[in-house]
Amino acid sequence: MFNDIGPLELVTLIVLAVLVFGPDKLPKVIQDVTRTIRKIREFSESAKQDIRQELGPEFKDFEFEDLNPKTFIRKQLDNDELGLKEIRNGFDLKKEMAEVTDAVHGRESEPSAGTSSSSSSTGDRVDMTKKPDDRPPFDMDAT
C-alpha cells in the first residue's frame, strides 16, 4: 500500500503524528485508522464479489485490474491477435530519425535493406542546403 514512501518520509509522518495527536492519543488513532482501512477493504472485496456474481459464468476470468488502461493495453500487446508485435518490430524509430537528420543536413543516408543499392536515395528528398540568396523574387502585389 505504501510502496512509494521512503524512510525519511515515514519518519517525518511519525513525528508529525506524535506532534498533532500527542503520544497518549496516538495508539487509539492508529487503531481507528487500521480499523477503517480494514472496513474499506472488506467493503471493496464484497462489492467485487457481488459484481462477479451478477456478471455470470462467462466473466469468471474477469479481473478488475484489467479496467486500468495501462494493464489493458499491456495485456492486448502480449496477446498479439492483431499482429501488433510485427508492426512494432518493423518500425525502427532510431533509423527513421537518422534518415530525417541526414535529410536535414543534406547527407545521403545508407540504403535500407528494402531498397536496392543502385537507386539514389535523394531522388524524392527536398534540398535543404539552398543558400538564402536562392530565394524566389519577392512580389509586392502577391502579398
**For 3-52, what is each residue's pLDDT tens digit?**
678 889 989 988 998 899 888 998 999 999 999 999 999 999 998 888 88
**For 66-102, what is each residue's pLDDT tens digit?**
778 888 777 776 665 556 666 666 777 788 888 888 8
- Domain boundaries of the chain, sorted by first residue: 1-62, 63-107
- DSSP for 22-48 reads -TTTHHHHHHHHHHHHHHHHHHHHHHH
Cα separation, 7 vs 25, in Å, equals 24
